[in-house]
Amino acid sequence: MNDVDFPAWMGQMQRRTEAALARHLPRADVLPEQLHEAMRYATLGGGKRVRALLAHAAGAVTDAAPDRVDVVASAVELIHAYSLVHDDMPCMDNDVLRRGKPTAHVRFGEATALLAGDALQTLAFQLLAENRVSENPHDQLAMIALLASASGSRGMAGGQAIDLASVGCQIALEALELMHIHKTGALIRAAIVLGARCGGRVEQDMLTRLDHFGKLVGLLFQVVDDILDLQSDTATLGKTAGKDANADKPTYVSLLGLSGARQLAADLLEQARSPLIPLGRQARRLDELASFIVARKY
Ligand code: GRG
């Protein structure tokens, strides 16, 4: 698998992630059927799986067994799917389209969507508690704690709270960065560190480098997301384009202009690559993923 080119590797890993998620999610014919159907609807059959790809690419740096990485990659994708379900609800971003199909609350109603998000989140932690992802039980507990803090009030949920509070406000670039380090960046960073920690060959210097890469790539992801929100269209994105400007949300484009945001993305890409250099060829999928994040069209 290491010999194939990047698009082939990405396709293989996306299919692998889809299969792992399909296995881990409750079957739709098991009670309560509608809740399980909503969980599967929100998680399967869409999404780039960037976080799972990053986990596998980081696992390659520490010679992690792909079966173990599947577990952390699935857990992170379940948290991501839950965040999208809740983010799309009328009490938050109030959107009707996600991954090219009606959002979960449009399809199943608000109460079921809320519960599906809740259940996706708890399933993520159940996976990490029930499946061995590290030789050392203390390390495994630390990995569970890492995912919890990346998802909670000091991570993604906290970033979302800052985001909701910043609508219609003028904020400085540093405040925007702080918001995105939490809202989008924390889970991306966790995916990378968790993937690496599945491996047997984990050195602190390696983890520090990967974490630094994750922080920069998380920001990069958001800068590109802001550019796409303005530049792309709803059909390509699979979600409503132009949402941020319409909602009067501060973005990298609103603060820096389009060319400033593009320049920032180029700078962040260059900075993100640098901590990978001493990790050599085993880090090449991470490097390729950083480029993919910049070049992506949706
Ligand atoms: C509700 C607790 C809670 C948090 C929501 C992540 C998030 C916080 C909201 C999503 C809103 C949003 C559009 C954020 C911009 C960055 C982002 C996470 C985009 C969607 O991620 P992709 O592009 O989606 O990886 P796919 O569909 O490819 O998985």
- Segments making up each domain of the chain, as ranges: 6-295
Q: What is the pTM of this model?
A: 0.96
Give the residue, by CA position, lying nearest to ligand 1 atom 17: 184
Average pLDDT, the chain: 95
Pocket test residue of 49, 51, 87 for ligand 1, highest count of atoms within 8 A of CB: 87
Among protein residues, the one whose CA lies closest to atom 27 of ligand 1: 47
* pLDDT, tens digit, 9 for 90 and up, residues 67-104: 999 999 999 999 999 999 999 999 999 999 999 999 99
If you write DSSP's letter for every residue of the chain in order, what string do you get? -TTS-HHHHHHHHHHHHHHHHHHHSPPTTSSSHHHHHHHHHHHSS----HHHHHHHHHHHHTT--HHHHHHHHHHHHHHHHHHHHHHTSTTTT--SEETTEE-HHHHH-HHHHHHHHHHHHHHHHHHHHHS---SSHHHHHHHHHHHHHHHSTTTHHHHHHHHHHHTT----HHHHHHHHIIIIIHHHHHHHHHHHHTSS---HHHHHHHHHHHHHHHHHHHHHHHHHHHHS-HHHHSS-TTHHHHTT---HHHHHHHHHHHHHHHHHHHHHHGGGGGGGGGGHHHHHHHHHHHH---
Q: Return the ligand 1 atom nearest residue 187 CA.
A: 6
Q: Ligand 1: residues whose CB is within 6 Å?
A: 47-48, 50, 80, 83-84, 86-87, 99, 156-157, 160, 183-184, 222, 225
Q: How far is the CA of 200 from the centre of ligand 1 (A)?
A: 31
Predicted pLDDT at 168: 86
User: What are the structure tokens assigned to 125, written together?
Assistant: 């932690």
Give CA torsion, residues 280, 278, 11, 186, to 10 deg.
Answer: 160
The domain covering 6-295 belongs, at the CATH homologous superfamily level, to: Farnesyl Diphosphate Synthase (1.10.600.10)
Q: Which atom of ligand 1 is nearest to the CA of 87?
A: 1
From 89, 91, 184, give the residue whose CB has the most ligand 1 atoms within 8 Å, as the site to mutate.
184
Taking only the tens place, the pLDDT of each residue in 43-62 is 999 999 999 999 999 999 99
Instruction: Dig out the tokens for 63 from the structure.
Output: 């010679």
For residue 51, give the ligand 1 atom closest to its CA: 25
Average pLDDT value for residue range 164-190: 94
Distance 138 CA to ligand 1 centre (A): 31
**Does the structure show a pLDDT above 90 at 244?**
no
Residue 3 has what pLDDT?
79
pLDDT given for residue 1 in this prediction: 59
Residue 97 Cα to ligand 1 midpoint, Å, equals 13
> How remote is the CA of residue 222 from the centroid of ligand 1, in Å?
9
Taking residues 196-211, report their average pLDDT: 94
Compare 246 and 20 and report the one with higher pLDDT: 20
| Token pair belonging to 215 | 């922080």
Atom of ligand 1 nearest to the CA of 157: 2
